[in-house]
Amino acid sequence: MSATSIRGASAIVGVADDASPTGQLELSGRALEASMIEQALSDAGLDIKDVDGVCHAGSSMQLAEYLGVHPRFTDSTMTGGSSFEVHVEHAAAAIAAGLADVVISVYASTPRGDRARAGGGGGRRGGPPPGMGPNPGLEWEMPAGIRLPMGAYALAATRHMAKYGTTAEQLAQVAVSTREWATMNPKARYQDPITIDDVLASPMQTSPLHLLDCCLVTDGAGAFVMTSAERAKSLAKSPAYVLGVGTCHDHSMISQMPDLTTTAGMISGPAAFSMAGIKAGDVDLLMGYDSFTITALLHLEDLGFCAKGEGGPFAEDGKLGPGGSLPMNTNGGGLSYTHPGMYGMFLLVEAVRQLRGECAQRQVPGAEIAVAHGSGGVLSCMSTIVLGTEAALS
């Protein structure tokens, strides 16, 4: 299949997400997923009976059974936080090839609610989920006492600081700009502005990452619906066309990452941009996975918004915040809005809403091209999705 047959052939036509300033949601599990699917389908003007493709980062087979759907396209791809970007990529290809007409993907995770329901005890930590195969990390990483996932990102940050002179203040600015956006999202966990000093004064977790360099742990859920560009025209909302897709992973364990300062976004980003026919300068809005401040900073470099090593200076003048030249993570991101574990779904939902002009106070004026860039594992799997409005399609 050629790239041109994917570009513009499909669109995200329905989205939903939920999170709360309390960090906790009422529903959980399949009930929460079903609620998200229903909302996303309703957003699109579609019905569950229209669905013939199902994606899930756990088991698409179990989800489809629960929903009573018999999909002819199924995808259980699980690449951590970037799973949902990969779902878009696969669904875009499937729709372009005629393998499916209406594809859904959904995510729900409620670590806070689960803990509360279990009586306040600690949740499950460490070890592979069942069925994930052997975990070499138990033999080759965990004995060194690394705290995961944050320790992995800290190792990347230390190396980046040593190699390029990136400062703690520059990393902190990413959190500060992101919080500025969160002040305009009534569902965000944290909505009060913070300063660089606040970030630096927050407790050191695993150096050089302070508490406010790290994403939240909150309940959250979301879903999207995709269909063909042709069918999208007749649906309820303006389509967010899939213009470009690209994915690459280059390790699973952080000690196997080829270069701690360069992610596989160097592959996924240019692939997606090239398919879309865009350059970094054309992007109106970047939803760049911010599990940690260093994560977002690496995306800026690897997607070509600045040169390798220049992420720190690029971020430091606030151009990522409201009114800046590169609005990033306008929902408040994983750092301030919500982060239930695999955050990539929320990147897509916000990107679509921005392209539709639905973001009220935090709306990026005239947004035509948005990039959702997911990062899964420990800087392991990068997946880049370029979305655009009708105007960007031609």
Stretch that binds other proteins, among 101-109, 207-215, 298-306, 355-363 (CB under 8 A): 207-215
Q: Cα–Cα distance between 80 and 247 in angstroms, integer?
A: 13
* Structural tokens at position 232: 């999208």
Q: Cα–Cα distance between 258 and 76 in angstroms, integer?
A: 27
Comparison of 151 and 220: residue with beta carbon closer to other proteins: 151
Count of beta carbons in the 10 Å neighbourhood of residue 72: 11
- At 53, which helix (H) or strand (E)? strand 53-56
Measure CA 265 to chain center: 13
Contacting other proteins (CB under 8 A), which of 119, 125, 129, 139?
A: 139
Is 158 a binder of other proteins (CB under 8 A)?
Answer: yes
* Structural tokens at position 354: 């921005």
- At 243, which helix (H) or strand (E)? strand 240-249
Contacting other proteins (CB under 8 A), which of 119, 129, 134, 366?
A: 134
Q: Cα–Cα distance between 124 and 136 in angstroms, integer?
A: 19
Look at the block and give the residue holding tokens 């996924």: 268
Would you call 246 helix, strand, or coil by DSSP?
Answer: strand
Is 88 a binder of other proteins (CB under 8 A)?
Answer: no
Q: What does the per-residue mask of binding to other proteins show for 258-277, with x meaning CB under 8 A?
A: --x-----------------
Question: Considering the complex, what minimum distance in angstroms separates the CB of residue 161 from other proteins?
Answer: 8
Question: Considering the complex, what minimum distance in angstroms separates the CB of residue 210 from other proteins?
Answer: 10
Comparison of 72 and 147: residue with beta carbon closer to other proteins: 147
User: Which amino acid is present at 275?
Assistant: M
Distances (CA, A) of 92 to 36, 125, 145, 369, 386: 21, 35, 41, 17, 12
Is 64 a binder of other proteins (CB under 8 A)?
Answer: no
Comparison of 119 and 134: residue with beta carbon closer to other proteins: 134
Is 1 a binder of other proteins (CB under 8 A)?
Answer: no
Stretch that binds other proteins, among 116-124, 158-166, 168-176, 289-297 (CB under 8 A): 158-166
Within 13 A of 231's CA, how many CA atoms are on the CB side? Answer: 21
Q: Cα–Cα distance between 321 and 326 in angstroms, integer?
A: 8
- At 348, which helix (H) or strand (E)? helix 344-356
Peptide bond into 149 cis (omega under 30): yes
Task: Count residues near other proteins (CB under 8 A).
Answer: 32
Is 61 a binder of other proteins (CB under 8 A)?
Answer: no
Comparison of 156 and 349: residue with beta carbon closer to other proteins: 156
- At 4, which helix (H) or strand (E)? helix 3-6
Is 159 a binder of other proteins (CB under 8 A)?
Answer: yes
Contacting other proteins (CB under 8 A), which of 68, 119, 130, 203?
A: 203
Contact present, 353 and 237 (Cβ < 8 Å) = no
Contacting other proteins (CB under 8 A), which of 117, 147, 233, 279?
A: 147
| 134 DSSP β-pair partners | none
Is 133 a binder of other proteins (CB under 8 A)?
Answer: no
Is 2 a binder of other proteins (CB under 8 A)?
Answer: no
Stretch that binds other proteins, among 17-25, 68-76, 253-261, 325-333 (CB under 8 A): 253-261
Question: Considering the complex, what minimum distance in angstroms separates the CB of residue 293 from other proteins?
Answer: 14
Is 151 a binder of other proteins (CB under 8 A)?
Answer: yes
Comparison of 115 and 159: residue with beta carbon closer to other proteins: 159
Within 13 A of 117's CA, how many CA atoms are on the CB side? Answer: 12
Stretch that binds other proteins, among 222-230, 248-256, 319-327, 375-383 (CB under 8 A): 248-256
* Residues forming the site for other proteins (CB under 8 A): 134, 136, 138-147, 151, 154-159, 162-163, 203-209, 254-256, 260
